[in-house]
Amino acid sequence: MVGMASLPGVRGLRMRMIDGKWVPGAVAAWVFLWVLGMGQVARASEAWAGAHPRTVLGAFERRQVSEEVHEYSFRVRVGNGAHDVITLHRVVREMAPWVPARTEKAVFLVHGDMWGFRGAFLTDAGRGGMQGQSFAVYLARQGVDVWGIDLRWVHVPEGTRDFSFMKDWNLGLHARDVGTGLSLARLLRALWSSGSGKMALLGWSRGAAVSYAWLNEESRWPPELRHVSAFIPVDMAYKLAPEDELMRQEACGRYAALSRLVAEGKYESGEQGLLLQYVGAQALSLPDEPSFRQGFSNRQLALLAGGATWALQPQPFLPTYHFTGGRFDASNKPLGLTWTPEHLFLDFLLLASPYQSLAEQVDTEALWCDEVESPYDDHLDAVTVPVLYVGASGGFGRQGLHALTLLGSTDVSTLVLQRFSEEARELDYGHADLFLSDDAETSVWAPLLEWLGRH
């Protein structure tokens, strides 16, 4: 049943009941506008497997994430399968309930492995809090219209055992979902009189790889149909430089191993999110009790997951890769975190999604290996939007710079956070410090915002 009403205090704003919640009547136009928009996208992207078979909006939610900032979210069906769903998020200041403040600046955020939008970009408010220190809230407070996506695997419920539906959830499919999100975001911004202009695209970690794949495809479209005005890849290598030959060979080995798993019918990446949730929960509830890793308490294991992530990975991407800079004693037992508050990192662990598809990881290893034909790097030289690479020395850091040389962009800037010498890289600013650390606002977010303002 659909009902209509006027919102008290907002003259002329009509409300419609959808999914049992009152939302603006204008929202009913989304689907109509979406159909028109996707007609254009489908014609422009036949080589990209066309548009999704059907798209339905639902599960609308509005919640306050700081005193003046709200988050809207809604689900979008992007295929015929039960799990073919993404969620779009919008974090913005309001003029009134369901009335976003008008702003010219807009950015679309794509998360990486294991964490969805809230875990990656709304960590401080991800579990329902209102501390408001997260990246998305910071941007919204500065007048940016912040959009983002939960990729399909974020929604897969705990307890799932048959992952055959993930078989084709590869880099290209996730990139196409990002294109869906960008298209909807622009249509909705136009509906709310914020303009229909192109948006900056920011991808963190694997999200940067997904974003590269999207730009690689979008560069083939007529300029008037493209969605992206600027690109911010955050701490991710998309292609490896010639001097990283050892890393390339290791990637070839991982590609072969992961490809065998997929051939054997394994389509999920190993329930890593469930493990991280468990590590975080144990550290919070029983910090001094022994963990499942011999010689480490629950708290020490959680700190190890942050400060020496590589030590818990069977085949680490980099021998010094870590989420957060850490402090260690003489026996290499973790003592604490250097820049990120411990409680915030533990909350971050709890926000991990249970499962993740494996195919996009296989595709990324193929790009790094560079001995396997890949459709995701054929048109990088046609990508000409301004680019800002943001890296962390304790993450991918300067390994992410080589891909910039393969783009057609002439406006390229870099910001790599490095606090120590190369010899102490294992202690340096980490992959997640970029969004969780106490000084992220001044060291990372403010320079990024300043660059956005010029692009």
Please give the share of the chain, as a percent, with pLDDT higher than 70. 86
∠ CA 333-204-153, nearest 5°, is: 95
Residue 127 in this model has a pLDDT that exceeds 60 = no
Does residue 340 carry a pLDDT above 50?
Answer: yes
Taking alpha carbons only, the member of 216, 173, 215 closest to residue 78 is 173
pLDDT band at 8 (very low <50, low <70, confident <90, very high): very low
Structure tokens, 2: 């659909």
Half-sphere CA count of 17, side-chain side, radius 13 A:
6
SS3 label, residue 407: coil
> How far is the C-alpha of 406 from the C-alpha of 201, rounded, in Å?
18
Q: Do the Cβ atoms of 23 and 97 come closer than 8 Å?
A: no
Instruction: Tell me which residue of 303, 334, 319, 314 sits closest to 397, measured CA to CA.
Output: 319
Which is it for strands 199-204 and 228-234: parallel, antiparallel or unpaired? parallel
Torsion of CA 309, 317, 278, 166, to 10 degrees: 170
CB 112 within 8 A of CB 205: yes
Q: What is the structure's pLDDT at 43?
A: 39
Give the tens place of pLDDT for each residue, 185-230: 999 999 877 778 999 999 999 999 999 999 999 999 999 999 999 9
pLDDT band per the 50, 70, 90 thresholds, residue 14 = low
Q: Where residue 369 falls among pLDDT bands split at 50, 70, 90?
A: very high
Q: Is 413 helix (H, G, I), strand (E, B) or coil?
A: strand
Range scoring the smallest mean pLDDT among 33-47, 82-96, 373-387: 33-47
- Closest Cα partner for 354 from 444, 290, 440, 278? 278
Listed in sequence order, the DSSP H helices in 286-432 are: 298-307, 342-350, 359-369
Q: What is the DSSP string of 8-47?
A: TTSTT-EEEEETTEEEEGGGHHHHHHHHHHHHHHHHHTGG
Q: What is the DSSP code (8-state) at residue 354?
A: S
Residue 85 above 90 pLDDT? yes
Q: Which amino acid is at 379?
A: H
As given in the structure block, the two tokens for residue 81 are 């399968």
Residue 366 has pLDDT above 80, yes or no: yes
Q: Say if residues 327 and 335 touch (Cβ distance below 8 Å).
A: yes
Q: How confident is the model at residue 132 (pLDDT cuts 50, 70, 90)?
A: low
Domains, the chain: 4-244+357-454 (3.40.50.1820)
If you ran DSSP here, which 8-state letter would residue 297 be given? B
User: Mean of the pLDDT values across residues 269-290?
Assistant: 97
Half-sphere exposure of 418 (CA within 13 A, CB side): 13
Q: Which residues of 150-185 are buried (b: 16+ CB within 10 A; e: fewer)?
A: bbbbbbbeeeeeebebbeebbbbbbbbbbbbbbbbb
From CA 183, how far away is CA 39, in angstroms rounded?
Answer: 11
| Vertex 245 angle, CA 244 and 251, to 5° | 95
Query: Residue 268 — pLDDT band, cuts 50, 70, 90?
Result: very high
Is the confidence at residue 168, as pLDDT, over 70? yes
3-state class percentages of the chain: helix first, strand second, coil last, to nearest 5: 40, 20, 40
In this predicted structure, the answer to whether residue 36 has a pLDDT above a threshold of 60 is no
CA quadruple 113, 164, 278, 433: dihedral, nearest 10: 0
Confidence band of 38 (pLDDT split at 50, 70, 90): very low
Give dist(CA 268, CA 290) in Å, integer. Answer: 29
Residue 39 has pLDDT above 70, yes or no: no
Is the alpha carbon torsion for 259, 263, 264, 270 positive or negative?
positive
Of 430, 276, 431, the C-alpha closest to 356 is 276
In this predicted structure, what is the pLDDT of residue 47? 35
pLDDT of 54 over the 80 cut: no
Q: What is the average per-residue pLDDT within 241-262?
A: 97
Q: What is the pTM of this model?
A: 0.90
* pLDDT > 90? residue 234: yes
